[in-house]
Amino acid sequence: MVDAELPRFADADSLITAVVQDAQTGDVLMVAHMNRAAWQATLDTGYAVFYSRSRGRLWKKGEQSGHVQRVREIRIDCDGDAVLLQVDQTGAACHEGYASCFYRRFEGGDWITVGSPLVDPRSVYKSG
């Protein structure tokens, strides 16, 4: 049985922060959120499942693009309200096609794009 205390969900609707890191490279890929159901689905399936605040529903990462995240290790922070998922990333973590969502660096007062998209997002995500 999972420790009922951790992660700390105040209620069924409350969210924790999930940081996703590439298990191989150590690159931080994205930040998302989980409610209790997303957390349980991640444990049950071994793949990262989040709660989409914009869509108001569970969201298996890669459900549309195929760019899933196989979870290799999970850590929790001292406060119990943030988890770190170390994953094997299939394809690109970012819906813009970049390996990581953190593809812009602050430099000289502006945001500079680092690297190139791995995939063309138009080929992966259908509109409508």
Query: Is residue 104 near a second copy by the rule CB under 8 A?
Result: yes
Query: Is residue 84 near a second copy by the rule CB under 8 A?
Result: yes
| Near a second copy in 14-53, by CB under 8 A | 17, 19, 21, 25-28, 30-31
**Three-state SS sequence of 12-30:** CCCCEEEEEEECCCCCEEE
SS3 33: strand
Min dist CB 30 to a second copy, Å, is: 7
* Residue whose tokens read 């994205």: 30
Q: In the complex with a second copy, which residue's Cβ is closer, 1 or 12? A: 1
Residue 93 in tokens: 């973590």
CB 80 within 8 A of CB 8: yes
Indicate the DSSP class of residue 82.
E
Query: Is residue 118 near a second copy by the rule CB under 8 A?
Result: no
- Residues near a second copy, by CB under 8 A: 1-3, 6, 17, 19, 21, 25-28, 30-31, 73-79, 82, 84, 94-96, 98, 101-106, 109-111, 114
